Chains A and B, each alone.
Chain A
């Protein structure tokens, strides 16, 4: 609206002139008299107002000129209107493991991709789409755009990951798409309603459930046992509602060690025993008969080596030496364990040998030559570089699911400041305190694997049946130290630390390569999202990482393909979906002008009729 256009200026000036004439007219001298009854009544109307005089003709003219001025200036009003049509569209894809289920046709993700592509094809050209995926975390793979070719390419590039999609990731994906007018969620699991009903969502959520019920078998667990000593087992579970047959094959370092057909009852779990294995190595179990979901048909495990290994246990406490030797033999019966006290003579004598593992209780003699060292209840000055900052008289172990209400009391423990290359396996707290302290940790500096058990093992702590958690944690830590440095078995979806100390290349199971750069402690991390063998290559050094995946919720293929009714946004949010538009008032003003002129004409005619005038 502008008053500086010539027509608006002219009309505005004419309005000013009219008002000036009126004011001049009103500027007659005012004479106050005792009563109007002493004066002859005149034709001019009398008004009962001291301030405002109602002169219809003036006001009609003034209103008419005002309307004309506003009309010439282009009066408009801001009007809130409903949004014409959703313009922003978000496509959210579940990339969890079960989206790779084939259901006898294409996989579920392919079905979702086809539906999304159909949406793209039928959408108006102005509509913009963004593409968001979620599995472990939410990722925006395509920013909002209306370039169909890019969007199509991004959709077709999606691949399922061998991980379980988390609700947190779904929530993050929905939050990322919160500003969209319409959200299409492609998944094979019905998401929790609380996520879809979250108040921050701006648009309507269309839920596309893909997939049909499928029959799936999965390898739940694989235990190599102890080569030449204990047989191993493989746990196979059926998620089918009918009996299923399959074949289980187990290879050890790519040499078959077991092959057997299996028949599984509906929804049953079978334990298949094999071995004992003839030697250690990489154990690979697989189901040979294809089923609807492939990622849970393979599983890896590392069988301990059968080569004679030497272990040195150093402690001044006889009971501790005895307990540790028993635990080491339980872990690997092939161990040849030497237990000595921490006297200088004994240490000097053993310093001539190289041990595969040195378990050092309350001592850390630098003279001991070992490939791996396990420090137990270390002294403040440790040869491995651990910094002991204090001790507590009684520590509680909080490992895994050990609840705070049922802690395992361990006894005295050291407070150790872990170096960057060390990862805590179990934490605890001083009794009666909430301060968390690391109790069990392992790491791999350049000198070789180092383990830490911060609590004291005196008084046969490891053999106390009430403190089984301490024994299990200790066994886990020792096993980690004994793992071969060139092979790892990990779970998909969890960060894997690799002690590389130099830049490396990671070769994924599908052949793709990724650069790995270690941090200041020499550790490089990567997150395996596929099952199978990863290979980290750094110079002449190679580390094989075998990634396993199993999750019962993902392996149970029970979802059915359907599009559920859209979740409408809350009324408050729906009300927000409006646009503000400038609406010209030309017609209204023209109508007002016409009405005012008609009214003025009527007043003039009426006045002329009453006064019997031929003209006004």
Chain B
């Protein structure tokens, strides 16, 4: 990996994506690196999910190219693509009456053909995924008996069992309580730093993004802006502008992390007098 630092895990050039004529993302350039947690942030309806779905090859771009490990994603066979890139949609529905083990095993789908039997590599990948997500004690529990936070970990374990280098997650922390959110973000960061994954997640909480992410991608009004150095003043302005807010930045006295304190919205003029 170190030999060819110019090959990004995932990169987009001139990317435009949209639904039935309406363009949501316009002419975006983007590079996602391995060993890093990249947070996708932006106001509602800015096209974060659309961008992520295009990167996951679930939505065909109207223009531009996406390359996975340097090769255009169109050159990958479906199964082969899934071995290199995994995607977790927003609040996936856990089928009732499925055990943790059964769902995690689904992650092995791209590694098996219709005729291959379950083998040691499959078993090892699942065990590893369960260990990394701290689910070993819950392996035989039914999904519907788990808390929201635990269930989200099971889905992450499933895409971990997929053993793809790139992991895309659509709002993995939404609907979790604060402890489970922090828990999940630490897990994602450690997957990036210790397992060498390129982890891309849409995050709603700006301060979580600032604290946990290595790279930030700000999506607003169809434009996509990547900010690499997070201790740089440049991004505060762009974030505030993207969210239509005035914001103050303070530093966490213990570790120097920047904390964004929104002070005023200028999204709706009606609120001006408040």
A binds B: no
Residues of A within 8 A of B (CB): none
Residues of B within 8 A of A (CB): none
